[in-house]
């Protein structure tokens, strides 16, 4: 099995890409909704939670673990690899490199959580790849909470439009032509982000096209590569794992199972069954 975890439902944006890339592999999804959002917690608290979540997934039989959370990857990926050195981990980071290479205006914008933007891992990423461009940063904690309750917010879509516009338009006014979605919750707001960006461009006839980077496809490609190269053929040293023939997926949450299932259905477009984990 393959494990995927996040602070909440946002990592389902990663899960759906991985499930598509590896349709024969059972994927266990774990949402730490009892502690969501990670972006407002101390790095030490996030690190402790992440080690517990990964430990449970490995004990549950997962041969590879995907950290489908930018905040968790930023503050705990090194600790995970040190603690569970026989199991491969795939992390996630804001797409600063391709954004810097793609911009026409020389200005990119990273939308993320406070903890991601404050982390040493993110600072190193900007130092390596953002030297030739201006990097704007915007923490959008309300977006995380909106996605966690998207089934409710979908009844009042104008509130989502207002929330997204408040974050995005000031960045576009500063000539950012590439938006980096630095939180796995944010791709689920893509229809509203696209709508807001299109309205801004309609009012600025000479503005260049606006590109939006969703990290999920790249994470799925990397997961596919690691699974095929290390896990499926037993080269991790974590045990002999064979490629499953029949695929089924599990969904767990440290929060309330019925609530998670309701929101996940709204995000994914089909019903799921979730179980609660006391951790």
Signed CA dihedral, 55, 56, 59, 64: sign only: negative
CA dihedral 60, 64, 69, 75 (to 10 degrees): 100
Active-site residue, from 62, 69, 140, 167: 69
- Burial of residue 275 (number of CB atoms within 10 Å: 0-12, 13-18, 19+): exposed
Catalytic, 62? Answer: no
Q: How open is the CA angle 85-215-167, to the nearest 5 degrees? A: 125
What HEC string does the chain produce?
CEEEEECCCCCHHHHHHHHHHCCCCCEEEEECCCCCCHHHCCHHHHHHHHHHHHHHHHHCCCCEEEECCHHHHHHHHHHHHHHCCCCCEECCCCCHHHHHHHCCCCEEEEEECHHHHHCHHHHHHHHHHCCCCEEEEEECHHHHHHHHCHHHHCCCHHHHHHHHHHHHHHHHHCCCCEEEECCCCHHHHHHHHHHHHHHHHHCCCCCCCCEEECCHHHHHHHHHHHHHHHHCCCCCCCCCCCCCCCCCCEEEECCCHHHHHHHHHHHHCCCCCCEECCC
Catalytic annotation on 69?
yes
Active site residue: 62, 140, 167, 183, which one?
183
Residues annotated as catalytic are 69, 183
């Amino acid at each position: 099995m393959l494990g995927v975890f996040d602070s909440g439902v946002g990592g389902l944006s990663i899960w759906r890409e991985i499930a598509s890339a590896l349709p024969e592999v059972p994927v266990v999804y774990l949402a730490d909704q009892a502690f969501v959002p990670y972006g407002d917690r101390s790095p030490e608290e996030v690190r402790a939670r992440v080690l517990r979540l990964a430990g449970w997934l490995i004990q549950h039989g997962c041969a590879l673990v995907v950290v489908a959370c930018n905040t968790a990857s930023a503050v705990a990926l090194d600790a995970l690899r040190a603690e569970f050195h026989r199991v491969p981990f795939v992390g996630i980071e804001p797409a600063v490199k391709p954004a810097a290479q793609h911009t026409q205006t020389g200005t990119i914008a990273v939308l993320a959580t406070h903890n991601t933007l404050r982390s040493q891992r993110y600072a190193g990423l900007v130092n390596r790849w953002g030297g030739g461009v201006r990097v704007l940063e915007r923490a959008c904690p309300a977006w995380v909470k909106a996605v966690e309750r998207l089934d409710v917010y979908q009844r009042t879509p104008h509130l989502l439009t207002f929330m997204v516009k408040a974050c995005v338009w000031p960045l576009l006014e500063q000539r950012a032509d590439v938006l980096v979605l630095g939180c796995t919750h944010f791709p689920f707001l893509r229809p509203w982000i696209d709508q807001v960006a299109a309205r801004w461009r309609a009012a600025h006839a000479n503005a260049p096209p606006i590109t939006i980077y969703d990290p999920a496809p790249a994470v799925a490609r990397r997961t596919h590569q690691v699974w095929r190269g290390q896990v499926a053929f037993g080269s991790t040293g974590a045990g002999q794992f064979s490629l499953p023939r029949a695929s089924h997926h599990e969904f767990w949450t440290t929060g309330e199972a019925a609530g998670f299932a309701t929101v996940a259905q709204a995000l994914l477009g089909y019903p799921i069954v979730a179980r609660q984990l006391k951790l």
